Copies of this chain bind each other. A is one copy, B any other.
């Protein structure tokens, strides 16, 4: 059984001055995250309110409905976000990877649950203190608005997918999203990494595990993708995927 309780041993003290070395200096995702817009002195201020959190795979970062106390940057590992209906039906609303920001929608409570899909390391900011800092770091606020805008655009694409695309179109779209993300992160493109289960993919695409599986094999038989190993997809004919994804 996966641990359901958040455990965050702090690897860093609250007071910035108590730290010998800045954890930001060798932060692998500094340039890929919202932090990239800050200058050294601004970064120090942000660092002043940050703590590092660790979580095992399967652990829950927070639950839908919990008071929203922290926003975070994903440093290492990946996260799935989801909403549940009372009877257990689940909709995955997104997957996060290193450099992604968790919690742009600053509300009093979390609107979704967040669960680690692998060993996870995040950089956490108390919401109220970050909100205060935003007044003094307009560049950060500007960047967050940009991030929020991107998230809205992605959400609208997802609505089109969920409301109007067929299973085959959904899976094709999903593979292309993954590929695009891998590209942005300068990860290997072929085969592309697929760190989530068929069930997670299904809950993201509004399909069942079985339909996802069937659609993968169908695409494989059509020579469009290869399935070399668990958690890997080889994109053989990207053009074909693009066509399918757009319903052409």
Contact = CB atoms under 8 A, between A and B. Distances in A.
Interface of A: 83, 85-87, 89-91, 93, 104-107, 111-112, 134-135, 138, 141-142, 144-146, 148-153, 155-160, 162-165, 203-206, 246-248
Given A163-B206, A247-B86, A152 B105 contact: yes
A156 B111 CA distance: 8
Given A86-B248, A105-B156, 7 more contacts: A85-B165, A104-B145, A105-B153, A134-B142, A148-B152, A152-B152, A163-B205
- Which of A90, A142, A152, A165 has the most chain B CB atoms closer than 10 A to its own CB? A152
B155 A156 contact: yes
Contact of A162 (B85, B134, B146, B159): B159
18 contacts: A85-B164, A85-B247, A89-B164, A89-B165, A91-B164, A93-B160, A104-B145, A105-B152, A111-B153, A111-B156, A134-B142, A138-B138, A138-B141, A141-B141, A144-B145, A145-B148, A152-B152, A158-B159
Contact of A106 (B91, B93, B145): B145
A172 to B, nearest CB: 13
Nearest to A163: B206
Contact of A145 (B90, B145, B153, B163): B145
Contacts of A87: 247-248
A206 B93 CA distance: 17
Contacts of A151: 152
Contact of A159 (B91, B105, B138): B91
Contacts of A93: 156, 159-160
A205 B160 CA distance: 10
A152 B102 CA distance: 12
A94 to B, nearest CB: 8
A103 to B, nearest CB: 9
Contacts of A145: 104, 106, 141, 144-145, 148
B91 A163 contact: yes
Contacts of A205: 163
